[in-house]
Structure 1
Amino acid sequence: MKKAFLLAACAVLTVMPSCARKNASTVSATDKTEQTAVDKKKVNVKTLPLTVTTGILDTIKNNYKGKVVFIDLWATWCGPCRKAMVSVDSIKPELMKKGAKFVYITGETSPENTWKEMIPNIEGDHYRLTKEQWKSLCNEKFVRGIPCYVLFNKDGSVAFSNLNEGGYPGNDLMKPEIEKALKKK
């Protein structure tokens, strides 16, 4: 019995310092915003404080007051998500020049290393939520699957949303919706 207890205690003491290091790096990472340029693409990695566990979409939206914001909920392992991003890339430069912001949100189901490898090729602002934050966002907005999208007008009102349906509606629909939102005062 003593032997089992000592082995368990040693195992806990061995694991705890590495957990503490992970938590410390996570906390400091929440304060960082990185900007990189890859093939002239600007990528901003943004994080939410770990304490934000409700109102996730509103919290992110509030970072873009006065801007038209196209938000894409996606995952690195989602083939339709990646295919839609390629499609959006053909309209994105023109719309960004007019002032539209593109924001990409994923959760912990996207392995961090894979996510970090992918985002330099996806121009825009990127958020990787914790498991709790992702679950909260999906529950609050009734997200049924990914990819799904929401477009906010400059005043923060919703111009377009398919959070409840999912799937990319196509550039033929989204480009005019974004342009219409950009023209609104």
Structure 2
Amino acid sequence: MGRRILSDATTVVTALLSSSCCIIQLLLNIFSYSCAGFAVFTPYRSYLTSTTLIFLSLLFFKSGWKSRRAWTTTMISLLLMVTPEIVSWLNIGSTTTIETSSTMVLLHLDGLGCLACANRIKNALAAVDWVESVSVFFDNSSAIIQCNDYYYDGSHQEQSTIAAALVQVIKSVDPKYDASLIVPGAGAQGR
């Protein structure tokens, strides 16, 4: 019995590590804790995923296909392994048609440690009443924000003014986060 529990625990732990501990980070974010540094496992994700799949194969080999315990461990492990993809999909969001006068702002983000950090920034920006849609991309540390041009006092605002307000929202999430406006066609010096 002890070996079975150890085998199941090892499989689930490798699945958790292969997710770069995304679940733990999301739970920490709920309580407003910053990045816990689990993104260090990201470069090893393919190895940890392979190890988890090997452990799952051994589990089925030892206990058979009809074992409820093996299927439960498999479902938990697979859910943990795909968590980063689910979070990434949620961060990108859906495309909406915007009929009001709006401005698209493209920001470069600094301080992102993991997908959960990107999720925190997305949620903070989405909570702003004049922000119409937000997509945050962890892979290239950027955000695309569609904003209503007429915010605050109802007067038209320039893109740089809107971007400055968005940067302040991002900095308010956690002091380690920062952002800068990306000017299309300006290259790296445009930031």
Question: With structure 2 as the length reference, what TM-score do the two structures score?
Answer: 0.30
Higher strand share goes to which structure? Answer: 1
Higher helix share goes to which structure? Answer: 2
Question: With structure 1 as the length reference, what TM-score do the two structures score?
Answer: 0.30
Q: Which gives a bigger RCO, structure 1 or 2 (Cα 8 Å, sep 6+)? A: 1
